Amino acid sequence: GIQVEQSPPDLILQEGANSTLRCNFSDSVNNLQWFHQNPWGQLINLFYIPSGTKQNGRLSATTVATERYSLLYISSSQTTDSGVYFCAVPHMRGTSGSRLTFGEGTQLTVNP
């Protein structure tokens, strides 16, 4: 199956700082998603982004499928951004379905 690596594993920021989280994957994909797990354990879908760039408020994501990576940008971070950020891709090359393999996540802590 496709392997997913996220970096950095941990990130500590002061409120107001910007950050970039990276997701590398080992094969071609046509489906990539970013999730945020908040400190209460809820998993929220941030972006469905197989290619290109999307923005949602202070968050944006870019996937460069040909180079097998995706980036999640968080600008002007707030304490509510704390939690774990996961990226996920299809289990096997050539499948666009929803059976996803998750990376191990980036633990983000935003301090006031």
Site residues (CB under 8 A) for another protein? Answer: 30-31, 33, 35, 41-45, 48, 50, 86, 88, 90-91, 96-105
Q: Which one, 17 or 26, has the nearer CB to another protein?
A: 26
For the bound state, the minimum distance from the C-beta of residue 102 to another protein, rounded and expressed in Å, comes to: 4
Whose Cβ is closer to another protein: residue 57's or residue 112's? 57
Query: In this complex, which beta carbon is closest to another protein, that of residue 14 or of residue 96?
Result: 96
With respect to another protein, which residue has the nearer C-beta, 13 or 47?
A: 47
Minimum distance from residue 43 beta carbon to another protein (Å)? 4
**Tokens 């935003």 belong to residue:** 110
Backbone Cα Rg of the chain: 13
Q: How far is the CB of 13 from another protein (least distance, A)?
A: 21
Of 90, 95, 98, 31, the C-alpha closest to 65 is 31
Distance CA 91, CA 54 (A): 23
Task: Tell me the C-alpha distance between 81 and 85, whole Å.
Answer: 10
Residue 81 — φ and ψ, nearest 5°?
A: -80, -10
